[in-house]
Amino acid sequence: MKGIKKRNVLWVFCIIAATILISYLENNLSPSNETSLPLFSKQTETMEVHFIDVGQGDSIYIKADGHSMLIDAGEKSEGTTVIHYLEALGVDNLDYIICTHPHSDHIGGMNSVLDSFSVNQIIMPEVNHTTDTYEDLLQAIGDHNLTITKAVPGNQYALGPASFTILSPVSDFYEDVNNYSVGIKLSYYNNSFILTGDAEALAEKEMLNEDMDLTGDVLKLGHHGSSYSSCSEFLDAVSPSYAVISVGKDNTYGHPHHETIEALVERGIPIYRTDEQGTIIFQCDGDTVSVHNEN
């Protein structure tokens, strides 16, 4: 009996010692594991989306953890504006360039951009167009030994920790060149942007019919706020917290149209305009989006 008691005491001692050891390890090792987590979390990174003021036209620069892309580059005369803007940010390489469609207010400045930065991939719609500006762009793409990646809805591309999905053009042929616009959903953790070039209501309705997730924190309105774009179904599907209009002061088209502004006001969506606020910059931490502007 004495022998059994001694063995029991020894077991109890071992169990107590083991419990103390486990509790020591939990208290001292777990916290250091937890504190090391933020170093690898998204909080150390951000995504920035810059709507560069190029007058009447579009140019959008996106930066995510050292990766860069540019969507459009305004008119030819705005090429240097875009180049200087990117240089000031320390950009030397663009992972992607998207030329939304062949109109000069989107691709005019792109030749000079191609001459100034190295580019990994260029995404465009497949469209027959015969203006000198478009021919010059195709020539520059050839000169820089780049091949064009056709924009195909559903295709996804990584931009560091961010990514984007092609939304449009859905069809192969359109009467209006605007509807060939490459539209994308840009995502960074829980933040997203819907950017659709000059896509008009016809193209927006095609995107809606494709049953894609069109929700976004920020919507860059199609076609500089024209009433031919931003149909009510599309606005409701995106349901943005911010609307951006890339537009020139006193432009001859009357952009943005009052119908578009009224539709945004009705929905209580704040409007940011490059003609009034200059370049507009959004900063995303993966959960929240904040906005800054020049003026």
List of residues 6+ apart from 115 with CB closer than 8 A: 140, 144
By the rule CB under 5 A, 198 interacts with Zn ion: yes
Strand, coil or helix: 81: helix
Nearer to Zn ion, 56 or 192 (CB): 56
- Min separation Cβ 131 and Zn ion, Å: 14
List of residues 6+ apart from 151 with CB closer than 8 A: 98, 123, 124, 125, 126, 166, 168, 169, 182
By the rule CB under 5 A, 200 interacts with Zn ion: no
Task: Tell me: cis bond preceding 256? Omega within 30 of 0 counts.
Answer: yes
Site string for Zn ion, 227-266 (x = CB under 5 A): ----------------------------------------
Nearer to Zn ion, 178 or 191 (CB): 178
Nearer to Zn ion, 114 or 247 (CB): 247
- Min separation Cβ 198 and Zn ion, Å: 4
What's the CA gap between 205 and 220, in Å, rounded? 16
- Min separation Cβ 223 and Zn ion, Å: 6
Which stretch in 18-26, 78-86, 195-203, 241-249 sits in contact with Zn ion by CB under 5 A?
195-203
Using the 8-state DSSP alphabet, how is residue 248 labeled? Answer: -
- Min separation Cβ 32 and Zn ion, Å: 54
Owner of token pair 């000069």: 104
Strands (E), 205-259: 218-220, 242-245
Number of H helices, E strands in the chain: 9, 15
* Interacting residue with Zn ion among 95, 105, 204, 217 (CB under 5 A): 105
- Min separation Cβ 103 and Zn ion, Å: 5
- Min separation Cβ 185 and Zn ion, Å: 20
Site string for Zn ion, 264-293 (x = CB under 5 A): ------------------------------
Helix locations, 227-272, DSSP H:
232-238, 258-266
Nearer to Zn ion, 105 or 275 (CB): 105
What's the CA gap between 222 and 184, in Å, rounded? 12
Strand, coil or helix: 194: strand
The most distant pair of C-alpha atoms in the chain lies apart, rounded to whole Å, by 105
- Min separation Cβ 54 and Zn ion, Å: 10
What's the CA gap between 117 and 177, in Å, rounded? 28
Residues present in the chain in total: 295
Which stretch in 36-44, 97-105, 134-142, 266-274 sits in contact with Zn ion by CB under 5 A?
97-105
Nearer to Zn ion, 162 or 231 (CB): 231
Q: Can you name the residues that pair with 255 across neighbouring β-strands?
A: none
Tell me the number of residues near Zn ion by CB under 5 A. 2
By the rule CB under 5 A, 78 interacts with Zn ion: no
Which stretch in 82-90, 155-163, 179-187, 197-205 sits in contact with Zn ion by CB under 5 A?
197-205
- Min separation Cβ 212 and Zn ion, Å: 23
Give residues in contact with Zn ion (CB under 5 A).
105, 198
